[in-house]
Amino acid sequence: MMVFFRIDEQRVFNAWKEGGHGVTDLDKALVESSNPFFMNLATRFEKQSLESFFSSASFGTKLCTDCYPHQFSPLINDAWKQKNFGRNLFRGDLINLGIGQGYLQITPLLYLNSEWWQKKGE
């Protein structure tokens, strides 16, 4: 049951929905905006596989230029964070990326228009 996500004893993030989201799959998590689902999912990725996923989803390129002409999300990886902040990504960055916050500059609807999503069925 996706009621909360626990990083450690001091950092627990509750679902916005009273009582949590119940049994949740990707579709339900998107519809209900279940942060615990996406936080949990993000922690299952290694940094390299997350970078590969973002690259395959066309992050680091302009997406949906006809509906959001200025929307751009950089390819978030250790090299990008080193260049911009002088340090590598850490676990908290990955959790923030999982819920579309932190350094990620893309909306869920824009993501759904990405090349990866369109090719999902191929």
Residue 32's domain comprises: 1-44
Number of domains present in the structure of the chain? 2
Same domain? 28 vs 59: no
Regarding whether 71 and 99 lie in a shared domain, the answer is yes
36 shares its domain with 79: no
Query: Which pTM was predicted?
Result: 0.63
Same domain, 65 and 114: yes
pLDDT at 122 over 60: no
DSSP string, the chain: --SEEESSSS-EEE-SSTT---S--HHHHHHHT-HHHHHHHHHTS-HHHHHHHHHHTTTTSB--TTT-TT-B----SHHHHHHHHSS---HHHHHHHHTT-TT----HHHHHTSHHHHHTT-
Residues 78 and 119 in one domain: yes
- Do residues 63 and 100 share a domain? yes
- For residues 89-118, give the mean pLDDT: 72
Residues 111 and 53 in one domain: yes
Q: What is the pLDDT of residues 50-97, one digit of tens each?
A: 777 777 766 766 655 565 555 566 778 888 899 999 999 888 888 888
- List, for residues 27-41, the tens digit of each pLDDT value: 888 888 888 888 888
Q: What is the CA radius of gyration of the chain?
A: 15
pLDDT at res. 111? 63
